[in-house]
Structure 1
């Protein structure tokens, strides 16, 4: 009876939302950047599934209802971007140049590091698209002969690191321009970083959304060539 309730997809869905909201309230109350709700929610759900001996496949079935809304959620990030469109048009050349450079650095750095550490070609291909949103990253990984499931895990880890430490790192680096902050966090930490930016400031969030979008486009276009060249 209890096992049936715990494995019910609607219970697991409600549990996911409940844990995430609880972690979010805790972070808001403490103000600590280390208490990232996504990071803590993942950890608590893993502990729950392990303690209750619930297979991941069972949880994944309930999570499909969340997956369905991921793509519309990413599209919705275009709303604040549209509101800043007039300002963005004035800066389009430096924005495109910086995003292309950021994309190249992101790909080259992870590919070179992975090769120096002795990673296989499949792992290298899986890591190359680490800084873009999951659907794009998995498609790029598959096209390069990578492991999409590994890519998805790396994308989540990259986003979490950016969401937790991204703004702190920029503060240490004396990066204070709101547009530069947004573009950087969006390009480096995709949707997770962008959601954190949205919570901080709508202007920064708009540029983070732009960084996410441009880095996704450049990564899809440039990754096969850069990986083959390296």
Structure 2
């Protein structure tokens, strides 16, 4: 039985069926907090723990899904290409907004770590929490952080961003599609972008653009952030 549960076929079935089920729950309840990704993670973790399925077996079984992550990310450029004229029109505000958002995001983590007494490698690991995982891991290594903690922080940030971004936009009365997309992409990377695509084509395009630029800016600003971190901490 255990061998059957650890096979790639079962793992693929578990992953896909769980996500479809989670989407069904959100459509029926229409509750923002019931994000499909969050529900899927909880169910899958419960199954792995209850049936004692090794994490390595699950990772091997989902290798095909992981393989398609890169091309699916590249697909985000399609809505951006469709809105290229909008990008040219707002080029300067877009670049400034992403730069400021990225910088503030990293500085806020340093200040919060200072307030809550978090220091050392753990604090450094949290700095690149708002960029896509491959970039975040490399930045974490560069800063002297712990990649595993960085990955966890990135996932949690993305889920929270996907759940709360519509709520925050409503509370703050942010109506401009470009501003909404930039805010989500800069703060919540690809997971947030999936929500931005649901909100509209312009939001999705701007959010997808923000992922790449925010990642690049994070890499460039990392040495400066490290100096600020050493001064404050």
TM-score (norm 2): 0.94
Q: Equivalent residue for 1:165?
A: 164
Q: Equivalent residue for 2:87?
A: 88
Q: Find the aligned partners of 1:122 and 1:145 in 2 and give their Cα distance.
A: 6
Q: Equivalent residue for 2:204?
A: 205
Q: Find the aligned partners of 2:72 and 2:108 in 1 and give their Cα distance.
A: 29
Q: Equivalent residue for 2:21?
A: 22
Q: Equivalent residue for 1:184?
A: 183
Secondary structure of the corresponding residue to residue 214 of structure 1: helix
Kept in 2: contact 1:111–1:227 (CA 8 A): no
Q: Which runs of 5 or more structure 2 residues have no equivalent in the other structure?
A: none
Q: Equivalent residue for 2:4?
A: 5
Q: Find the aligned partners of 2:44 and 2:173 in 1 and give their Cα distance.
A: 36
TM alignment of 1:1-230, pairs within 5 A: 2-230=1-229
List per-residue Cα deviations over 1:31-87 (Å, max 9, x = no partner): 221110000000000110111011222212212322222222211111101110111
- Which contiguous aligned blocks of 4+ residues in structure 1 show a shift greater than 3 angstroms? none
Q: Which runs of 5 or more structure 1 residues have no equivalent in the other structure?
A: none
Once the 2 structures are TM-superposed, how far is the Cα of residue 211 of structure 1 from its aligned partner?
Answer: 1.7
RMSD: 1.2
Q: Find the aligned partners of 2:54 and 2:223 in 1 and give their Cα distance.
A: 36
Q: Find the aligned partners of 1:199 and 1:177 in 2 and give their Cα distance.
A: 15
Q: Find the aligned partners of 2:64 and 2:139 in 1 and give their Cα distance.
A: 24
Q: Find the aligned partners of 2:57 and 2:152 in 1 and give their Cα distance.
A: 19
User: How many equivalent pairs are there?
Assistant: 229
Once the 2 structures are TM-superposed, how far is the Cα of residue 115 of structure 1 from its aligned partner?
Answer: 2.9
